[in-house]
Structure 1
Amino acid sequence: MTQPITILNAACHPNPYPYYASLRAGQALVFDTELKCWIASRAAIVQQVLESPACAVRPVTEPVPRNIAGGTAGEIFSYLVRMNEGQAHAVPKQVIQSSLRKLDLSGIAAYTQQHAALLTSKYDVKAGNGLTHYLFDLPIHVMGNVLGFEENTLPALANWMADFVRCLSPLSTAEQIDAAHVAAKALQDSFRQLLQESQAKPHGFLAGLQSEAELCGWQHADGILFNLIGLLSQTYEATAGLAGNSLTAWQAHPNLLQDLRADPAALPAKLSELVAEVARHDASVQNTRRFVTQACEISGQALQAGDVIVVLLAAANRDAAVNPDPDTLQLSRPDRKVFTFGHGRHACPGQHIAEQITGNCLHHLLNMPAFDFSALRWTYRPSLNGRIPVFTHNIQNQENT
């Protein structure tokens, strides 16, 4: 029997978009009496919530999730600029955003091509399990290279990150949280050593970030270190989800694959458009939450301190008021409005990095001989807000077993 779709399971549902459309057709801001939260699904309301100074990313009474508070993973979380408000985090946010803007995207592309080749020799990407590992490991290998990690440390870095990010979900088990604290300690130690070694690489990304921090007066070494771990964790899941959802789009739109392959010279530009459109059409981050810190009004509705708002980013992406013909995948969509990477003061600073890695990852897979995209099968990783495909054995592999 199919489980009824709700905001708690929509991100992992095979097709949550009719459900989101029904929410958009209802009240602008609706209260769910069972879950005791408000739901925002229209683009205008989602934008208003994300811009409101009264709506914070964490509850005032619980700045760190209680399931990881007191451990190493919780210590890292407490410093993340995306998870905190206020003036104390304004300068760190400025430093990180400025440093990421200076990154050479052509260098990101070169690293992606290099590690895509290495990982496809390590994993059998024509099997679902191998493809899933490849999609998760690739962004960590690329960003590890950018940050200055040695090649032989990248597999361990990817394993630590896999364990660390699991504690960021309310669905985490006690065993996963214990593993996350161990991984967090390993990440702390490896990043601390890396920051010390960055002095010997004056033209590297980390040296530039540290110089920027010094100029702006951000002298908290642990704050820098922990936000670098946070950057890596954001890139890890966002890129795996974006690439995975691009692959599922190819299966749903077989003519798209033919079009991409028809003109090799235009392929990079078309892949860039595809990645941007998939981020809108099938968001890897389906929702986020905001916690009301003081009495305010959203869309004419009075809210009180302590209220919780579930912000349906994926629903807003498909609002015809901002994206005409929203249910159609359009590579050349004009004035595309995308909420997947956030908006306003908590917009993801690594969006362009995730998109660049994804585009080059897809380019590599397209050039692989005998890769049958139509044979892929998948489920979605259990999550309240992430839409990340976990690929299973494809038809060809099943026939050969």
Structure 2
Amino acid sequence: MDPIIAATHADPYPYYAELRAQGGLTFHHGLKLWVASSARAVCAVLAHADCRVRPLLEPVPKAIASGTAGAVFAQLMRMNDGERQRCPRSAIEPELALIDLTAVNTLVAARLITVDADGLYKAMFRGPVCVVAALLGFNPAQARVVSVLTADFVACLSPLSNDLQRLAAHAAAEQLRGYFIELLAKTDSALLAAIKQRFEGDADTMIANLIGLCSQTHEATAGLIGNALVALRRHPELLGASMDTLMAEVQRFDPSVQNTRRFVAAACEIDGVRVEAGDVILVLLASANRDPALDEQPDSFLLDRPNRRSFSFGSGRHQCPGQVLAMEIACATVREILDHGVNLERLAWHYRPSLNGRIPLFSTLAV
């Protein structure tokens, strides 16, 4: 195993414990990068000003740089540091915190959910983006199209994508831009109107980050929903628990985003280790979540965990701005799936191929 393969392993957590025992920040010679595995090291990397979200010499991945998907990528707040990150974030983050969570539950409840494998897939991957699109002002038919286009766009963000997927991502990005241009012209949504009023950048940057809001929702929320179902399958005694409490522990115990990367812009010292400009650091969020220095009994699934802490939504200047919204969509979706009578005992799953995500894909076992 290595720290990247671990993300989709059946149980990567004993391996993460081995990495922490070797030191919080260590060099992996096979992968030719640094690995931050302890809570202290992860916190230090995420907080350090010289640890950037993209390499200085490659702000956009070369594979998509020449198309529309690359143009969108270049403007995403999550893929930038400095003013290009702060400006869109200062407009979007405060408004996400003010969203009426009752409206979120209503939108989730309005979706048709079936409890076969296809229905679970749509509930995990399509439903959350439909909810965000509806909150931004799209009608139900448009929201469904936006969710499909978002899935096509997101594929290009992975180094595992192929040429056909990248071509589809460029086309999807162009279509999404068109949808948002039309939406901004009418601005029926209170959420979108408030973001528009706060936004100080140009229209292209705003549109890119609205696409980014949908794309961030796509896989991360799907993983929250799927990993909650896995937890309930393994611990059926939790079925009567508060969904909010259950999801709070799921995101700590088995997060959908297992790792992220940082790129060292200038030689510096992090957690007592010298790193050089150009070095890459793999930040193991999921490993840090299981560090005993962060939470007591970290390998136990505890609903009543006091002072629960995790890095699942990041930390510092790039902490996920939509954490509350993502958690509420995931909670509402799992409630709906359970209310529709999914037979957890018949669920089987494998993890979607990914370098950083832990997202179960379900199939149903024959009776």
Asked if TM exceeds 0.5, the reply is yes
State which of 298, 307, 311 in structure 2 corresponds to 1:326: 298
CA contact (8 A) 1:128 1:377 kept: no
Q: In the TM superposition, what is the alpha-carbon distance from 1:9 to its structure 2 partner?
A: 1.1
Please give the residue correspondences for 1:40-189 in structure 2 after superposition, counting only pairs within 5 Å: 40-115=36-111, 118=112, 120=113, 124-125=114-115, 127-189=116-178
Please give the residue correspondences for 1:1-400 in structure 2 after superposition, counting only pairs within 5 Å: 5-115=1-111, 118=112, 120=113, 124-125=114-115, 127-198=116-187, 201=188, 204-213=190-199, 218-257=200-239, 259-260=240-241, 270-369=242-341, 371-392=342-363, 394-395=364-365, 398-399=366-367
- Cα distance change on mapping 1:52 and 1:219 into 2, 3 Å: closer
Cα distance in 1 for partners of 2:94, 2:238 equals 36
SS in 2 for 1:289: strand
CA contact (8 A) 1:161 1:233 kept: yes
Cα distance in 2 for partners of 1:132, 1:323 equals 32
Q: In the TM superposition, what is the alpha-carbon distance from 1:173 to its structure 2 partner?
A: 0.7
Structure 1 counterpart of 2:21, one-letter code: A
SS in 2 for 1:168: coil
Cα distance in 2 for partners of 1:100, 1:157 equals 19
TM-score (norm 2): 0.98
Please identify, of 51-60 and 360-369, the stretch whose mean Cα deviation from structure 2 is larger: 360-369
| Structure 2 unaligned blocks of 5 or more | none
CA contact (8 A) 1:148 1:194 kept: yes
TM-score (norm 1): 0.89
Paired positions, count: 367
| Structure 1 unaligned blocks of 5 or more | 261-269
SS in 1 for 2:27: strand
Please tell me whether Structure 1 or Structure 2 has the larger radius of gyration of its CA atoms: 1
Cα distance in 2 for partners of 1:95, 1:106 equals 22
Q: In the TM superposition, what is the alpha-carbon distance from 1:128 to its structure 2 partner?
A: 1.8
CA contact (8 A) 1:56 1:290 kept: yes
1:192-243 deviation digits (Å, cap 9, x = unpaired)? 1101111xx3x62111111112xxxx14111111100001110111111000
SS in 1 for 2:313: coil
Structure 1 counterpart of 2:359, one-letter code: I
CA contact (8 A) 1:99 1:212 kept: no
Cα distance in 2 for partners of 1:88, 1:32 equals 32
